[in-house]
A = this chain, B = another copy of it.
Amino acid sequence: MPKPDHPEVTRARRGDLFDPACPTRLLLDRVGSKWTTMLVLLLSKATGELRFTELKRGMTGVSQKMLAQTLRSLEQDGLLDRRVEATSPPRVYYKLTERGESLAVPLRALREWAEANMADIQEHSRAVADHSGGDHRGEMP
């Protein structure tokens, strides 16, 4: 998730930082947020850099807060480069770093899987829900 500061610390306080050595956990904590993945995917498509507003426009539904938060998170992780033009009004350009681009590869594979399978999954899911929902269930009196 695009947590601003130190998620691990928070978790550590809870006493359940079970296996911090597992890198997959760490990655999923970041990829888990849909915006992180969408952002990487969006930037990996772009030829050059993209500005804040362009990104916001490309990611329908994201709030400026979430976008900024995700951007800072990716920047801190070294997956994103931020370039500021100190004009007025200022212009800020974002682009993936090499590492960021490399992350886009498995992410694209995931997206392809999603595009190939999610329709079936939704249908399956709905069918199951209908079955158990409309079969023998008595609604509230």
Binding site for B on A (CB under 8 A): 5-6, 16, 18-19, 23-29, 31-34, 37-38, 41, 60-61, 76-79, 99, 102-103, 105-107, 109-115, 117-122, 124-125, 128-129
Contacts and interface: CB of A to CB of B under 8 A. Distances in A.
Number of copies: 2
A125 B76 contact: yes
A106 to B, nearest CB: 4
Given A5-B129, A32-B33, A37-B28, A23 B114 contact: yes
Nearest to A23: B118
A10 B7 CA distance: 27
**From A23, A25, A26, residue with most partner B Cβ within 10 Å:** A23
